[in-house]
């Protein structure tokens, strides 16, 4: 009775035993015609008698491979799905002859006796592996028959990565056959991928609980081989692994970043690993490979053949990405409750305690895939350990920001928010508009997604705000506060890198920004936005036509934008009315009044700077009509003057700083503003 745990190896050894029997017969045949079998230098030289014997020899007749009725019984004793050797034959579409060739090539890797026996049969003690000619002989095939083409580059054995044909410069029949270590290890029961695969891919067992995964899995079982999943929430990889699980397969997930970084990635080894396991392949997001590296994408599709392959990404399917048709389906977005459940599970597993409802509500605006959620929570727990306190909203938000790629950093200036509501001095209406913007950003998934309050027309789920006011009134700082409140980074677009004098280039630059922004969790800030969002004009020449084309492009692109964008302008009337209609929140930033200026002076001077007894902030607030940005500049200049004099901040330092600011702004020094300090300045 064969132990079920060892039945697979028993079957393999029985098959190799058949190879050994044929080797014995071949050795006996050689010995029968060898006049000097005991020659210790055999294989190192040829005698005249050996040459004549070669000339007189005739090709042996073709002998069919014998059947072994006991093999079926041995195979039946192996637990499902059966012997690995037969599973390999099924997954790689090998017939009986291919399998025998594989066993011949494998023999020296599992039994050292075959090394010396093959050296004898090759008549060369240095050739201790089977050659093409020896494999044909052991399988009873003529050297000039069709069997030799089983070792061609496009054959199932070679193209599938099961057998390597070495020494291509040697004659075809003398080329050495080798079975890769990974294939030999698999047949002997090892499921650990080798290094060239783990550097490029990972094996994932998916979850087939949702209806979408089961539906795609059923399509894979019915023979649909190439599927493209179009997703917007970063869940394409999870959905692909779930679909393969529904089809009864694991997923070999290719690392698209590693794939793009290598000149010659080991794609063949990854595809072979998937076939060895009876798994499918997953690759995405494909945006990392198109358009510059479509070659790699086409190569993956070609190597996969009939193996289930699921591609995923945000872009629509392009038929030029593959040499065969694909089924492209959208991944259903998660509703708000499902997103909250995902965060709740991840946080509970990481901390051992369920998160508060308030924390889950604050995280509802993030559109993260399951892998990104787990990574964000992992970062958050580590940050909490460094702070020495439990995981809080600020840790989770920092974890989310840590998931942002560096692609947008090349197109915009990234700011990690360091200010809050207490740092703003704004009027009541302006503060209410900012609060509304935060509310829309947090609940847009429920309102625009789950409740479908912006249906049709290709409209996105973005939130766009316009901050209008004079320079220095706090527009950029307010955008930073909004970003901090919703737990995102602020990306300030440098318009000098966007606007281009050549036709069409400005639109291309903006499209790159919007595309990269879709993949990060941040607030996009277009400072001085009227440079690109200005009013359209009557077409009088080519310049007007080009400017209007830019505006028309921006109109439709802002409507399809899925992120959060803030536009700032010094003059609201400069912004085209069509843009205004598409803006969700408009916040006006007036010049601060005296009370607000007093608060700004106090905030800008801070608490660490020592203040002199003659400092009169009421005088500064009443007399000097400055915006918040100018007050901040004056405070910094005054602090430098106090530091140079090595004393606390004096009123003379503040007035001198205001004088410098007036000169920068081109304003006159009036007595009704400076009063008694005017003489000191002179």
Asked whether residue 279 falls in the same domain as residue 300, the answer is yes
Q: Is residue 411 part of a domain?
A: no
Asked whether residue 179 falls in the same domain as residue 41, the answer is yes
Asked whether residue 362 falls in the same domain as residue 476, the answer is no
Q: Is residue 599 part of a domain?
A: yes
- H or E stretch including 255? strand 251-255
- Count of the separate structural domains present in the chain: 5
Asked whether residue 642 falls in the same domain as residue 605, the answer is yes
29-73 pLDDT, tens digit per residue, is 877 776 666 566 555 554 566 545 544 555 444 445 556 667 888
Query: Which residue in 14, 11, 16 sits closest to 117, CA to CA?
Result: 16
Q: Is residue 413 part of a domain?
A: no
Contacts 24+ apart (CB under 8 A), 255-263: 255/200, 255/201, 255/202, 256/283, 256/284, 256/285, 256/286, 256/288, 256/289, 257/288, 258/199, 258/200, 259/200, 259/283, 259/288, 259/289, 259/296, 260/288, 260/289, 260/293, 260/296, 262/200
Quick check: helix, strand or coil at residue 140? coil
Structural domain ending residue among the three candidates 571, 589, 607: 589
Q: Is residue 583 part of a domain?
A: yes
332-386 pLDDT, tens digit per residue, is 887 777 788 888 999 999 888 898 888 887 787 787 877 888 888 999 999 999 9
Q: What is the pLDDT of residue 121?
A: 87
Q: What is the pLDDT of residue 361?
A: 79
Structural domain ending residue among the three candidates 330, 358, 375: 330
pTM of the model: 0.79
What CATH number did the domain enclosing 200 receive?
3.40.50.300
Q: Is residue 274 part of a domain?
A: yes
Asked whether residue 343 falls in the same domain as residue 429, the answer is no
Q: What is the pLDDT of residue 47?
A: 58
Q: What is the pLDDT of residue 557?
A: 80
Asked whether residue 342 falls in the same domain as residue 278, the answer is no
Q: Is residue 416 part of a domain?
A: no
Q: Is residue 260 part of a domain?
A: yes
Alpha carbon distance 515, 528 (integer Å): 21
Which residue reads 């872009």 in tokens?
315
Query: What are the structure tokens assigned to 243, written together?
Result: 């679909």
What CATH number did the domain enclosing 674 receive?
1.10.8.60
Q: What is the pLDDT of residue 65?
A: 56
Alpha helices in 165-285 (DSSP H): 181-187, 195-198, 211-221, 236-246, 256-261, 267-277
Asked whether residue 581 falls in the same domain as residue 633, the answer is no
Q: At what angle do helices 84-91 and 267-277 cross, to 10 degrees?
A: 120
Low-confidence ranges of the chain (pLDDT < 50): 1, 46, 51, 54-55, 59-63, 538-544
Partners of 252 in the beta sheet? 203, 281
Structural domain span for residue 639: 594-680
Asked whether residue 582 falls in the same domain as residue 599, the answer is no
Asked whether residue 309 falls in the same domain as residue 348, the answer is no
Asked whether residue 471 falls in the same domain as residue 395, the answer is no
Asked whether residue 100 falls in the same domain as residue 169, the answer is yes
Q: Where are the beta strands (DSSP E) in 434-507?
A: 463-469, 489-493
Q: Is residue 414 part of a domain?
A: no
Asked whether residue 325 falls in the same domain as residue 251, the answer is yes
What CATH number did the domain enclosing 345 receive?
1.10.8
Structural domain ending residue among the three candidates 589, 623, 656: 589
Quick check: helix, strand or coil at residue 468? strand
Q: What is the pLDDT of residue 62?
A: 45
């Amino acid at each position: 009775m064969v132990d079920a745990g060892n039945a697979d190896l028993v079957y393999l050894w029985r098959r190799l035993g058949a190879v050994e029997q044929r080797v014995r017969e071949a050795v006996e045949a050689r010995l029968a015609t060898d006049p000097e079998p005991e020659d210790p230098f055999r294989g190192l030289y040829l005698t005249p008698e050996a040459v004549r014997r070669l000339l007189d020899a005739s090709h042996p007749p073709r002998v069919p491979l014998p059947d072994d009725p006991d093999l079926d019984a041995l195979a039946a004793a192996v637990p499902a799905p059966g012997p690995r050797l037969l599973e390999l034959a099924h997954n790689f579409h090998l017939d009986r002859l291919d399998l025998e060739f594989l066993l011949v090539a494998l023999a020296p890797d599992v039994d050292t006796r075959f090394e010396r026996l093959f050296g004898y049969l090759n008549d060369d003690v240095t050739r201790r592996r089977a050659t093409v000619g020896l494999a044909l002989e052991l399988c009873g095939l003529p050297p000039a028959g069709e069997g030799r083409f089983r070792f061609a580059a496009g054959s199932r054995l070679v193209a599938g990565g099961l057998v390597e044909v070495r020494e291509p410069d040697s004659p075809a029949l003398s080329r050495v056959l080798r079975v890769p270590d990974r294939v030999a290890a698999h047949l002997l029961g090892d499921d650990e991928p080798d290094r060239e695969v783990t550097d490029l891919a990972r094996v994932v067992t998916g979850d087939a609980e949702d209806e979408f995964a089961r539906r795609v899995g059923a399509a894979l079982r019915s023979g649909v081989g190439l599927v493209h999943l179009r997703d917007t929430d970063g869940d394409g990889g999870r959905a692909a692994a779930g679909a393969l699980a529904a089809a009864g397969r694991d997923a070999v997930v290719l690392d698209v970043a590693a794939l793009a970084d290598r000149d010659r990635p080991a794609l063949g080894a990854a595809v072979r690993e998937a076939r060895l396991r009876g798994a499918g392949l997953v690759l995405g997001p494909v945006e990392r490979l198109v358009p510059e590296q479509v070659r790699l994408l086409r190569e993956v599709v070609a190597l996969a053949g009939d193996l289930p392959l699921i591609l995923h990404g945000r872009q629509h399917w392009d038929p030029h990405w593959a040499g065969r048709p694909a089924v492209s389906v959208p991944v259903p977005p998660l509703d708000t409750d499902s997103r909250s459940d995902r965060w709740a599970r991840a946080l509970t597993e990481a901390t051992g305690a369920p998160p508060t409802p308030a924390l889950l509500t604050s995280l509802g605006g993030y559109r993260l895939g399951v892998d990104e959620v787990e990574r964000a929570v992992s970062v958050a727990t580590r940050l909490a350990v460094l702070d020495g306190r439990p995981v809080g909203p600020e840790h989770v938000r920092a974890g989310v920001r840590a998931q942002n790629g560096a692609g947008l950093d090349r197109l915009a200036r990234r700011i990690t928010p360091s200010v809050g509501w207490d740092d703003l001095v704004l009027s009541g209406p302006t503060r209410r508009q900012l609060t509304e913007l935060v509310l829309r950003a947090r609940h847009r998934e429920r309102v625009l997604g789950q409740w479908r309050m912006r249906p049709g027309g290709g409209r996105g789920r973005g939130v766009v705000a316009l901050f209008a006011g004079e320079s220095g009134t706090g527009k950029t700082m307010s955008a930073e506060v909004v970003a901090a409140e919703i737990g995102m980074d602020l990306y300030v677009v440098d318009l000098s890198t966007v606007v281009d004098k050549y036709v069409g280039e400005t639109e291309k630059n903006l499209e790159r920004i919007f595309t990269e922004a879709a993949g990060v969790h941040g607030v996009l800030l277009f400072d001085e936005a009227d440079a690109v969002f200005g009013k359209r004009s009557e077409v009088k020449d080519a310049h007007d036509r080009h400017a209007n084309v830019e505006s028309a492009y921006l109109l439709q692109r802002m409507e399809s934008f899925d992120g959060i964008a803030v536009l700032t302008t010094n003059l609201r009337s400069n912004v085209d009315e069509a843009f205004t209609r598409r803006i969700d929140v408009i916040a006006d930033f007036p010049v601060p009044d005296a009370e607000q200026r007093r608060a700004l002076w106090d905030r800008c001077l801070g608490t660490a700077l020592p203040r002199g007894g003659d400092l009169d902030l009421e005088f500064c607030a009443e007399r000097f009509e400055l915006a918040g940005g100018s007050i901040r500049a004056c405070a910094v200049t005054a602090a430098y003057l106090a530091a140079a004099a090595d004393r606390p901040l004096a009123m003379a330092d503040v007035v001198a700083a205001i004088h410098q600011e007036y000169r920068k702004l081109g304003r006159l020094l009036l007595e009704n503003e400076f009063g008694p300090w005017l003489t000191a300045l002179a």
